[in-house]
Homo-oligomer: A and B are copies of this chain.
Amino acid sequence: MSSSPHSVPPVSPLAPEAIRLQLRTWPDVEAYLQICRGVILPLGSTEQHGPTGAIGTDALTAEAVALAVGQRCGVLVTPAQNFGMAEHHLGFAGTMSLQPATLMAVLHDVILSLARHGFERIFVINGHGGNIATCRAAFSQAYATAAARQLPGAERLRCRLANWFTAPSVMQLARELYGDREGHHATPSEIALTLHLEPSLEQVQRPLPEAAPAGPIHGPDDFRRRHPDGRMGSDPYLARADHGARFLETAAEALSADLLAFLAA
């Protein structure tokens, strides 16, 4: 349906402020919906990222990538959901986690809100692996509710999960820069992105002993016992702010392509 609103990406990128739903008015959104039915929702987490990584890493990176993608594509970006499913990190101070059922309800309600207004393509840019399962489950629940409530656009509602850190080009860049030392949590790639975004984080970086190897994830006590400093096989000291700029660029490019394909589908 090439003539449907959501298949036509706006001609020119919007100004940085114009892309943030937070900074727009409701008549702006009504007008936007005449042109585009797509929207980007950044999904983060607030959890330990090793001895030198910022607790907000997953939310900061998800939102940064979302804004970069939004600006490239001219698609609105909602505020970030800063808390995600991080139960397994609760053994480390500062982690704030939603239970899976709670995160599912949050995403469900937020998607239903958007669908009510006529949004039909919800593109979730996610910064945390632990959110993936719950997010997918939430999509199913949202489709079911939209149908049960007989929302006008229920049949056209589509959600997609885009994890910036698993985009092939991002993973390849991480491999090139860090090889095996990328690891699986508190990775240099995500830390690099935070250094780019928040220069004050530079001062905390320092060499760290070899990290415990990555492994399957269970409850918080098990996690802490097996990963005593919170890292999973990663060497975040390899991270550099200029790497972060490249990760942002790479992720934005990859996810923008995904988003445009999603809007056109």
Question: Which of A's residues lie within 8 Å of B, judged by CB?
Answer: 17, 20-30, 33, 44, 46, 48-56, 59-60, 78-83, 85, 87-88, 90, 92-102, 104-106, 108-110, 113-114, 116-118, 130, 132-141, 143-144, 146-150, 154-160, 198, 200-201, 204, 215-216, 218-222, 225, 230, 265
Contact = CB atoms under 8 A, between A and B. Distances in A.
A113 to B, nearest CB: 4
Number of copies: 6
14 contacts: A21-B55, A26-B94, A27-B93, A87-B141, A95-B117, A96-B110, A97-B109, A101-B137, A105-B105, A134-B136, A139-B218, A143-B218, A148-B149, A158-B218
Contacts of A90: 113, 116
Nearest to A46: B79
A55 B109 contact: no
Given A102-B106, A105-B102, A87 B144 contact: yes
A104 to B, nearest CB: 7
- Please classify the interface of chain A as helix (H, G, I), strand (E, B), loop, or mixed, using the class held by over half of its residues: helix
B94 A29 contact: yes
A92 B81 CA distance: 21
Contact of A100 (B23, B48, B95, B140): B140
A108 B90 CA distance: 15
A133 B130 contact: no
A25 B49 contact: yes
Nearest to A134: B137
Contacts of A17: 198, 200
A219 B82 contact: no
